[in-house]
Amino acid sequence: MPETGFRAFLRQMPSETTKQRFRWHPFQKRTIMKNIVILISGRGSNMQAIVNAAIPNVRIAAVLSNSETAAGLQWAAGQGIPTDSLNHKNFESRLAFDTAMMEKIDAYQPDLVVLAGFMRILTPEFCAHYEGRLMNIHPSILPSFTGLHTHERALEAGCRVAGCTIHFVTAELDCGPIVSQGVVPILDGDTADDVAARVLAVEHKLYPKAVADFAAGRLIIEGNRVRNSENADAARFLTA
């Protein structure tokens, strides 16, 4: 009785082995690129750090800004990254701007939206739309010193350390689940600019790592906490 179906098909194959010919299988795990959209308002030094890190399996799909004159847009365009801008001053409300920005972002089908010096307070609607895939970096050790002028306030408070926090964004300002934090010393005689420069150097190391962990599926949000499945202690804390 002659063989039929797939077994007969294999019998008719050339001398190359079946294993070599059918290396791929529809249920085989494949590497999937993650689309990242980065939002900036100025030079975007953290954006540059993320791009320069060349994170495996990450595609920087676009860099967008609320200012057409943001220096970071020109830098990103020079790297071959799509750029665009939307001036918030041209909108009658914060929600109207956020809605228009969401349309631009969604055109790139992002897996993660990264705020890298995007100087806008986001509406609850924007935060809900990207829940669990909207990441920010804040220049303080949260929950201390939310908002602006963090380094000046740390100096005024007599703090001996300063730092930065990477967190997922929620509607409550600077209060989302913390991904990782970096800490630097405050030295006698430091100015706010001295502290800012020291913190920024840590930011440039910490943010690419957080994006890489997200892309690799290592970040697990559990309530208001983030667990890193790779190495919780090493992944969540960095010192200068």
Q: Tell whether residue 140 is among the known ligand binding residues.
A: no
Helix (H) or strand (E) holding 113: strand 112-115
Q: Tell whether residue 223 is among the known ligand binding residues.
A: no
Instruction: Select which of 88, 129, 138, 204 is catalytic.
Output: 138
138 belongs to the catalytic site: yes
Q: Tell whether residue 5 is among the known ligand binding residues.
A: no
Q: Tell whether residue 119 is among the known ligand binding residues.
A: yes
Q: Tell whether residue 136 is among the known ligand binding residues.
A: yes
Sign, CA dihedral 52-53-58-63, equals negative
Rg (CA), the chain: 23
**CB–CB of 226/219 below 8 Å?**
yes
DSSP secondary structure letters along 141-191: -TTSS-SS-HHHHHHHTT-SEEEEEEEE--SSTT-SPEEEEEEEEPPTT--
Q: Tell whether residue 121 is among the known ligand binding residues.
A: yes
- Burial of 2 per CB tally in 10 Å (0-12, 13-18, 19+): exposed
Q: Tell whether residue 87 is among the known ligand binding residues.
A: no
Q: Tell whether residue 117 is among the known ligand binding residues.
A: no
Q: Tell whether residue 44 is among the known ligand binding residues.
A: yes
Give the chain's count of helices (H) and strands (E): 9, 10
- Residues 6 or more apart whose Cβ sits within 8 Å of residue 188: none
User: 217: alpha, beta or left, given left = phi > 0 and alpha = psi -120 to 50?
Assistant: left
What's the DSSP call for residue 121? P
Residues annotated in a binding site for (6R)-10-formyltetrahydrofolate: 94, 119-122, 136
Active site residues: 138
